[in-house]
Amino acid sequence: MNFAQLRAFHAVATEGGFTKAARLLNVTQPTCSQEVKALEETYGVTLFDRSNRQVALTEVGTALFAVTRRLFAAEQEAMELLAGVRHLDGGTLAVGADGPFHAVPLIARFTRAHPGPTVTLAVGNSRSMLEGLMETRIDVAVLADVPGDSRLYVLPLRRDPVRALVPKAHPLARRRAVALTDLATERLVLREPGSMTRRLIERALAAAEVTPAAVIEIQSREAVVEAVAAGLGIGFTSAAEFTGDGRLVLLPIAGAEVEMDEYVVCLRERRRLAVVRAFLDLAREVAAEAGGLSGAAMPGSVPATPATAGHAAPAPRRR
């Protein structure tokens, strides 16, 4: 197999066009096009749809791109290993997160300690971030929802209580805590069904045999805050993610322990990359300062499953 042809294909797929790919490879565009064409002719396949102005991957091209991402990521890791990279004078670190609240402070701490690497942050749902990890588009992710997968290296970061968001003018805002039974007559403002916050709240409500009067579904944390402030219902958020809002009151949930776990995750095979290793080391420091997760899966063990990535249970009775 001709690696120059594979590299040309990978560059075109990554950059989204032959001109940008040629610039990346420091070759002429005709040379880049010829390499890709030769690869297609050798194996009798079409890797790109060239019918439109934009170059699009075919089904076979998409499958091959998944392979070349792993291939050239492994090449990068081998180069670091052989070169003995330790000083982090350059390179890149791609971080993914399901929200900015825990990821941004880690990135700020990383860049202060290691100003050389270029850091990028992608924010999306847990599923897309995990896909990015598996496809090596993302080096490390900060997530609350981590599946049990032996390919993943999971570092517990912190555990925070989930609180109720109540409009300041609401009668419940005058209380010191909100009981789950109080929610039976309230309209709730919840995230989309895949949200970990929603799953924890629904689990706690089910355990208490409470059915809310109505539910409004909102797609983002920011929109939940605005909806609650507008009086549309009672919302919920991790205490660590609430930065304060004069229109709202943040209240504990009485009668249940609803807690959100946060993890730093990478592919097990990529945790020795210099930039990933440095980020994990800083995350361990932060976890130690915050007290970590006493009951969570530790690095090297089986990662937390969706059923345990978070905690919602009845509060212990006082004796």
Q: List all residues 6 or more positions away from 52 whose beta carbon is below 8 Å from its beta carbon.
A: none
> Can you tell me the distance from the alpha carbon of 121 to that of 234, in angstroms, rounded to the nearest whole number?
31
Q: How confident is the model at residue 285 (pLDDT cuts 50, 70, 90)?
A: very high
* Most distant CA atoms of the chain, gap in Å: 79
Tell me where in the chain the CATH 1.10.10.10 domain(s) lie: 3-83
Q: How confident is the model at residue 76 (pLDDT cuts 50, 70, 90)?
A: confident
Average pLDDT score over residue span 165-180: 94
pTM of the entire structure?
A: 0.66
Q: How many CB atoms are closer than 10 A to CB 89?
A: 10
Pairing status of strand 311-314 against strand 256-267: antiparallel
Q: Write out the residue limits of the CATH 3.40.190.10 domain(s) in the chain.
A: 92-158+261-306, 159-259
In the CATH hierarchy, which top-level class contains the domain 92-158+261-306?
Answer: alpha beta
pLDDT digits (tens, 9 = 90+) for 216-257: 999 888 899 999 999 999 999 988 888 889 999 999 999 888
Residue 237 three-state SS: strand
Residues 6+ away with beta carbon under 8 Å from 87: 116
What's the gap between Cα 63 and its chain centre? 23
Fold category of 3-83 in CATH: Arc Repressor Mutant, subunit A (1.10.10)
8 Å CB contact between 307 and 202: no
Tens-digit pLDDT profile for residues 7-58: 999 999 988 889 999 998 889 999 999 999 999 999 999 999 888 777 889 9
Instruction: Check residue 41 and give its pLDDT.
Output: 92
- Which pLDDT belongs to residue 81? 63
Residues 6+ apart with CB under 8 A from 106: 95, 142, 264, 279, 282, 283, 286
31: its two tokens = 């040379």
Contact in structure between 304 and 261 (CB atoms under 8 Å): yes
Span 258-278, pLDDT tens digits = 998 999 999 998 888 888 999
pLDDT at 68 over 70: yes
Mean of pLDDT values over 170-183? 93
Report the top-level CATH class of 159-259: alpha beta
Q: What percent of the chain has pLDDT over 90?
A: 56
DSSP H helical ranges for the chain: 3-15, 18-25, 29-43, 59-83, 100-113, 126-134, 196-207, 221-229, 274-290
Instruction: Give residue-wise pLDDT tens across range 192-217.
Output: 887 888 999 999 999 999 999 899 99
> Which neighbouring-strand residues pair with 92?
118
* Confidence check: pLDDT of 87 > 70: no
